[in-house]
Structure 1
Amino acid sequence: MKHNIDEQRLLVKAKRKVRRVQIFYLHLAFYIIVVALLLFNLYIIEEGPYKNNIIALNLSILVAWTVFIIIHGLNVFKEKRIFKKSWEDKKVQEFLEKENDVKTTTWE
């Protein structure tokens, strides 16, 4: 009975992770579309009394949304690290072996 409950919890947890990744990819798709439209808007803008205001608004939207998309991505993929613990342990062991080789091969 307990084994079945644990499997159900793991399934619910996995579904939540998949849903979070889906939402992030939708957020990223909308971000790319809006960035393209804002850049096009910056390209076609003509001289006028409100040109500087429009440029400032467009750039502030780009900067703010870029920060939010980075934070969102970091929250979604926080378990996925580039340098995993096993990699770190392997590198530490490699450096220790090099230290030992240097100590044994040098002549004093």
Structure 2
Amino acid sequence: MKSNTDDEKHLIKAQHKLRQLKIFYIHLALYIVVVALISLNFYVMEEGPYTDNITALNIVVLVLWTLFILIHAWSVFKGRFLFNKTWEDKKIEKILKEKDKEETTLWE
């Protein structure tokens, strides 16, 4: 009975992590689209009475949204970046298995 509730807790936790990851990737895709549009705006902007204000607003949006996306990434990934300890352990285990496989098939 206890293992069943533990499995349910793990499932709920995994679903929550997956939901957070999905929301982050949607946020990142939207960020990339907006950065592309603002970059296009910088490229095609013509001189006018409000050019400085529009440029300042675009820069503020880029800086603030970049900070928000970095904070969001930190909250989603929290130490699960590229070369953490579990990744190293998995790679070492994989290399050792491949080496054992090579040794057994070499003499057969």
Which residue does the alignment assign to 2:27?
27
Equivalents in 2 of 1:57, 1:33: separation in Å?
17
Kindly name which structure, 1 or 2, has the bigger radius of gyration based on alpha carbons. Answer: 1
Equivalents in 2 of 1:71, 1:65: separation in Å?
10
Equivalents in 2 of 1:26, 1:10: separation in Å?
24
Gaps in structure 2 of 5+ consecutive residues: 89-108
1:69 aligns to 2:69 (yes or no): yes
Identical columns (%): 53
Equivalents in 2 of 1:79, 1:6: separation in Å?
24
Aligned residues: 87
TM-score normalised by length of structure 2: 0.75
Which residue does the alignment assign to 1:42?
42
RMSD: 1.4
TM-score normalised by length of structure 1: 0.75
User: 1:81, CA displacement in angstroms?
Assistant: 3.9
Gaps in structure 1 of 5+ consecutive residues: 88-108
